[in-house]
Amino acid sequence: MQPIRRALESARGAGHAALIPYLTLGFPHLKASLALLEALEEMGCDVVEVGIPFSDPVADGPTIQHSIDVSLRGGVHLGLCLSALEELGNGGPRLLFSYFNPLLRFGLCNLTAALPASGVSGVLVTDLVPEEAAEWLDHAQPARIETCFLVTVTSPTARLERAARASSGFVYCVSTLGVTGARSKIDPRARETVERVKSVTDLPVAVGFGVSNVEDVMEIRDYADAVVVGSALIRALGDETETGALVARAQDFLGPLLEAAHA
């Protein structure tokens, strides 16, 4: 069993949920984002989503779009991210979070060859649907790269089954329709969607999009195997640029969420 799935299975076996925070590499600058990644791994986050900046992040809301724009203006790109991660060394399980265009431009063969040294064991391609994923899966599966596909609260059963067959790390349930971003509450249909996914696969199921506080984490942990938090964490970092202060802000924000997930 590969690291990401093993981390989520371990959390499930211990009777709690895994916490998966998202970071945009290069925000507010590359050195700080790497320090944040290291800090999140050291504080016990089960998996970290490592966001790769892309110029057309159609699934992301204003908060993450802003972080991506800052990263791009700083000259950060996929190749630089992978080199920086390799230099940082292995930490906890890392999930590359990207759109497909940067991966294609980098080269899928080049990507699967580079990922192990960067400490990345899985990839979530935000805008790649299972029906169009054959080329990516042909590269990822032989290289033992974990794959994760998205489903939504409106996905029919056939789509859930297809996404589960294409996934090897976990299935990602988008909790609400629309782009990423903190919401006032989690869509109640998320619970039913997770139950439907679990009826067609034994893979772990994570819930994300809209998670903003301890109450959200406590609600989701009751029915899902993992909770993903992105925009709320980026927002908590604010406009701080000093590395030590950024790490403190991340730890202050995520500490209670991690405790809630692991309770």
pLDDT tens figures, 107-146: 999 999 999 999 999 999 999 999 999 999 999 999 999 9
Q: Is 6 exposed, middle or buried (0-12, 13-18, 19+ CB in 10 A)?
A: middle
Quick check: 97 and 146 in contact, CB under 8 A?
no
Q: Are strands 120-125 and 94-98 parallel, antiparallel or unpaired?
A: parallel
pLDDT of 163-187, one tens digit each?
999 999 999 999 875 545 444 578 8
DSSP-assigned beta bridge partners for residue 23: 50
HSE at residue 167, side-chain half, CA atoms within 13 A, is: 29
Query: Could you give the CA distance from residue 3 to residue 30 in angstroms, rounded to a whole number?
Result: 25
% of the chain residues with pLDDT over 90: 89
Nearest to 66 by CA among 243, 254, 231: 231
pLDDT computed for residue 182 by the predictor: 47
> From CA 166, how far away is CA 141, in angstroms rounded?
10
CA atoms within 13 A on the CB side of 156: 1
Task: Give, for 139, the enclosing helix (H) or strand (E).
Answer: helix 134-140
Is 78 within 8 Å of 102 (Cβ atoms)? Answer: yes
pLDDT score of 179: 45
- Checking phi first, is residue 224 left (phi over 0); if not, alpha (psi -120 to 50) or beta? beta
Q: How far apart are CA 257 and CA 121, in angstroms?
A: 24
Tens of each residue's pLDDT in the chain, 263 residues: 899 999 999 999 999 999 999 999 999 999 999 999 999 999 999 999 999 999 988 878 899 999 999 999 999 999 999 999 999 988 889 999 999 999 999 999 999 999 999 999 999 999 999 999 999 999 999 999 999 999 999 999 999 999 999 999 999 999 875 545 444 578 889 999 999 999 999 999 999 988 999 999 999 999 999 999 999 999 999 999 999 999 999 999 999 999 999 99
pLDDT tens-digit map of 97-111: 999 999 999 999 999
Show the domains of the chain with their CATH numbers: 3-262 (3.20.20.70)
Residues with a catalytic annotation lie at 49, 60
Q: Residue type at 147? A: T
Q: What backbone phi and psi angles, to 5 degrees, belong to 62?
A: -60, -35
